[in-house]
Structure 1
Amino acid sequence: MAIIDCPECTHKISDQSLSCTNCGCPTSKMKFLIRCPECSKSISNQSISCTNCGFPIAKPAPFKAVPPPLPTQNPIPIVQGNRKSKGTAALLAFLLGGLGIHKFYLDQVFWGILYLLFCWTFIPVIISMFEVIILLFMDESEFNKRFS
């Protein structure tokens, strides 16, 4: 429930009432009345000028529906987070494979710790040389599927 002004007498009335309690103007008529911006007299919303002072009434522009924006292709590829480079993994395996650094890079922390624990035996060095060859000959999509 809202309080509105009667366009005839400016008396405050409920929007639920059937007519103004002060002047008797029906509320159904109020929906079609507007106030003149110059003299504040109530006039029909269809008027092109005020009947009291002659002030021209600007009609609101007709509503134009704005078409939705057309979908466009994003020229910038969306980079997924945490993408690993096959070349970097192979280089780390070749240079620091005995310490398991490439395993940490590939988010295989358990294996990285295992390589560190056994680095004194040189077994991780031998295994990492095989891993370098495997990484270099692995397809890019397979690498991304396994490590990204």
Structure 2
Amino acid sequence: MGCKIKNTDEKFCSDCGEIIKLNAEICPYCGVRQMPAPNPFGITAPNGKNRIVAALLAFILGGFGAHKFYLGQMGLGFLYLLFFWTAIPAIIGLVEFVILLTMSDENFVRLYGQPKELWD
């Protein structure tokens, strides 16, 4: 039995072990759906946003509204920037950090994970 060597744009099928394209959703050899690689930051919403990234932004740069800009809430982001010197946005950012950390991935996707074209 020969040793299978894959290129950088390929992966092994999780079921049959054949070499398939890296972005293949279904193995062309056995027909089994391929699971995406696990993300160390949890699931990523359909619009590309991530709950853990948003929480870290709220913790580190919450006083400047970085997490609001990241989540697409530009108006609130500018409001945080306008009042950052009062430290009130920093306090609210810490509260939102805890809320984002304790929120389930499903709730995050429901609240913040829709693609922008669905908002219009």
Question: Normalized against structure 1, the TM-score is what?
Answer: 0.47
Structure 1 unaligned runs (5+)? 1-71
Cα distance in 2 between the residues matched to 1:131 and 1:95: 12
- Give the AA of the match of 1:137: T
Root mean square deviation of aligned Cα: 2.2
Structure 2 unaligned runs (5+)? 1-30, 37-43, 114-120
> Which structure would you say has the larger Rg?
1
Q: What is the deviation of 1:84?
A: 1.2
Q: Which structure ranks higher in relative contact order (CA pairs < 8 Å, sequence separation ≥ 6)?
A: 2
Aligned residues: 78
Cα distance in 1 between the residues matched to 2:34 and 2:57: 33
Match among 64, 81, 99 for residue 134 of structure 1: 99
User: What does 1:1-148 correspond to in 2, within 5 Å?
Assistant: 72-75=31-34, 81-148=46-113
Higher helix share: 2
Question: Normalized against structure 2, the TM-score is what?
Answer: 0.58
Percent same amino acid at aligned positions?
49
Distance 1:87-1:121 versus aligned 2 partners, 3 A rule = same
Cα deviation 1:14-52 (Å, max 9, x = unaligned): xxxxxxxxxxxxxxxxxxxxxxxxxxxxxxxxxxxxxxx
